[in-house]
Structure 1
Amino acid sequence: MPAANSGTADQENRWWTRLEKSVGLLVSMATLAVAAFAWMSIKQVNSEQNITREGQITDRYNAAVENLGNSSQDVRLGGIYALQRIMEDSPRDQPTVIDVLSAYVRAHTSKAPSVTADASLDRPDGPANDVAAALSVLRDRESRNNGSGHVDLSGRDLRGADLRGAHLHGADLHRADFHDTDLRGVDLHDADLHGANLWSANLSGSKLDGHLRGVDLHDAILNMADLSNTDLVGLNLHGAKLGSANLSDSFLLRTDLSGAMLRGANLNNVNMTNATLVSADLLGTVLAGVDLTGADLTHADLRSATLNATDGQDDTTVSIQQLLSAHLDKDTGLPAKLANDTRIRKAIESPSGG
């Protein structure tokens, strides 16, 4: 009898254990179900909020763009600053806003005058208020949200515009398109122009003196640009395209022109003291009268270049050691005192030409 009671007790214990496990499993499943339901509810709420937010952004965007077409400048200004707020609230919409405001500036400015136009066309006051506002929004945007967007102000008259940038950072003009743009008198102090297209842009005149300090022109396209009488001291022009550019009477002391293309550039009276011209392309370029004192000409292409006096210019100021580090050929025009140096003759006759 006692053995039978013991067996019954064991069965009851096992039954209660299974029951407890079943109840625990049901509780766990119920907890998971509640958690899943809560997560799905939160996700649905977030989704609905995102949809609502996106709808609000869309409505704000449409209203802002509509204001840009208003006849009142005050209303247009409101639209411009509304787009700025949209960029801040919705970073993914920044590329679209960049395109819209770039198009606005192009539509509300005149075509750039010819580079041969009379100097009396200078406009010291800069563009109209609405255009100035659009430019300020474009220059002060958060660069990390640019995405595929880039400023396109090509072919327009932007004389006297302020592109300095606000606060501690300079204007974000990275990859900006300024080809054929009139930028005379524009303040570009500390602007980031890395990779900008300045093909045939007009940056001429002393108005830029001191305003290009700190400007990054690395890889900038400056072919045919007018940079005459401009302070380019210490700038980064590494890899810049300066073919047929007018650099006459400019200051390029300590300027980095390594890998730059300078074929056909006007270098009359240019001071290149201590400039870096490593691997620069100066093929066929006239360098008469240029001061190259202390400049690094390592692997610079001086084939067919003119370094001897011509057209009233003096001989180029350059040393034998500098020339020996560059690429020369029989058509390189050299000052008489250097042309007959045996080391120079040997370098010219060598297969490497340098």
Structure 2
Amino acid sequence: MRATLKAVRASEESTQASNIRHQADARAALKRHRVEDRKWREEQYGERYQAAASQLGHSSAAVRLAGVYAMSRLADEWSNQRQACIDVLCAYARTSFEHSQIDERQVRRAIAEEVFRRLQTSEPSWAGQRIDLSGAYIEDLQFPHRVLRNLRMDGAWFEGFNVLSRAQVVGAVSFRGAHFSGSFRLLTSANDDSFISFADCEIAGKRFHVGVSRVGPRDSRDKVLLNLNNLMVTSGAVFFSLRGHFTHRAVWGSRAAIRGRSKMMFNLSKGSAAENSIILRDLAVEAQADILCNDPLRGAAISLGDMNWVTPGKLTDLDFQGYDPDPMTDL
């Protein structure tokens, strides 16, 4: 009887040891499989990257366009090298070309659309990546609910009707030195860390509208939100509208110029402004140009140095043709 029990226990121990060995072997095999699978995927991603990059360098615009979509899809899937894929697309967009080349404009437009389509909170999201479209050609870009973070569009050329409504600016967004023709509209929310630069820009289109709604209580810090240094307006209507709680010098600009028959307008909603919320220094205005301001503090919120400006009532006579009657409706 004892010998039988001993044999049973020995058999059970042997079986248990065998099971442990099998489990260890299975875990090791699974680990090897995962490593091999990861290596295989990386090799596949690398091959797709090379193929897409080759397409972007092709002489045919149709092939280059296919390369844009291929690189964009790869960036969605290849999270480890997402930034590298985005950098390739942005580098292509930054190269110079003749704007009269219709086929090439379609390629550039596709890059901008693929990038901005993914500046969102849901996956696949590129909102946390570095986006540098400096000098890019942007045409008819229309996307709502975009998250603008780490975005540089310095020296970009905007054509057609570009609209970014219900956006959210997080950190710094720069349009320094950009050229705007046609129409441009940016309606966005902002927080204490937001900063938008239109320094050194040239506005030569029909309508240019930047509306900012500040989220949260009034910040006690003296912090610039909108930078308008050396802004030049040569034609059209330029409208800056503010809603929320803004501090001293929230909008700052020096040596801006308004030329021709252009108009520059500032609208602050009631209760949003502090003293000198908007400060423009050394503003040059030609005789036929106009500045119109809606100042809820009766001259204390907007400082234009020695400039004279019209009464708030003139704002109701403006014709925006295509903009909402309330410029902040989309926020």
TM range (shorter): 0.5 to 0.7
Q: Deviations over 1:130-178 (max 9, x none)?
A: 222222222223656538742222134x26x13224xxx5556532211
> Which of the residues 17, 36, 55 maps onto 1:67?
55
> Which of the residues 110, 126, 139 maps onto 1:146?
126
Greater shift after overlay, 94-103 or 277-286?
277-286
1:131 and 2:108 matched: yes
SS at match of 2:200: coil
Q: Distance in 2 between matches of 1:76 and 1:174?
A: 27
SS at match of 2:293: coil
1:81 and 2:56 matched: no
**By how many angstroms is 1:292 displaced?**
3.3
In structure 1, the residue matched to 2:196 is 220
In structure 2, the residue matched to 1:101 is 89
In structure 2, the residue matched to 1:163 is 141
Greater shift after overlay, 248-257 or 82-91?
248-257
In structure 2, the CA distance between the partners of 1:253 and 1:263, relative to structure 1 (3 Å rule), is closer
Q: Distance in 2 between matches of 1:126 and 1:220?
A: 32
More strand by share: 2
> Which of the residues 180, 204, 207 maps onto 1:203?
180
**By how many angstroms is 1:316 displaced?**
6.5
More helix by share: 1
Q: Distance in 2 between matches of 1:33 and 1:296?
A: 84
Is this contact kept in 1: 2:55–2:64, CA < 8 A?
Answer: yes
**By how many angstroms is 1:62 displaced?**
0.7
Segments of 5+ residues of structure 2 without an aligned counterpart are 215-223, 314-331
Greater shift after overlay, 101-110 or 258-267?
258-267
In structure 2, the residue matched to 1:181 is 156
Q: Distance in 2 between matches of 1:296 and 1:26?
A: 92
> Which of the residues 26, 40, 45 maps onto 2:14?
26
SS at match of 1:32: helix
In structure 2, the CA distance between the partners of 1:64 and 1:315, relative to structure 1 (3 Å rule), is closer
**By how many angstroms is 1:57 displaced?**
1.1
Tell me the TM-score normalised to structure 2 length: 0.67
> Which of the residues 265, 269, 292 maps onto 1:270?
265
Q: Deviations over 1:206-259 (max 9, x none)?
A: x32xx5253457411111334577453643478222233347953334445835
1:244 and 2:230 matched: yes
Is this contact kept in 1: 2:131–2:151, CA < 8 A?
Answer: yes
Letter in 2 for 1:270: M
**By how many angstroms is 1:98 displaced?**
0.9
Q: Deviations over 1:165-207 (max 9, x none)?
A: 4xxx555653221112222434133374723211122235xx3
Is this contact kept in 1: 2:166–2:187, CA < 8 A?
Answer: yes
Q: Distance in 1 between matches of 2:119 and 2:309?
A: 49
Percentage of matched positions with identical amino acids: 18
**By how many angstroms is 1:51 displaced?**
1.3
> Which of the residues 58, 71, 95 maps onto 2:46?
58
In structure 2, the CA distance between the partners of 1:285 and 1:68, relative to structure 1 (3 Å rule), is same
Q: Distance in 2 between matches of 1:281 and 1:197?
A: 19
Q: Please show how residues 324-343 of structure 1 align to structure 2 within 5 Å.
A: none
Tell me the TM-score normalised to structure 1 length: 0.63
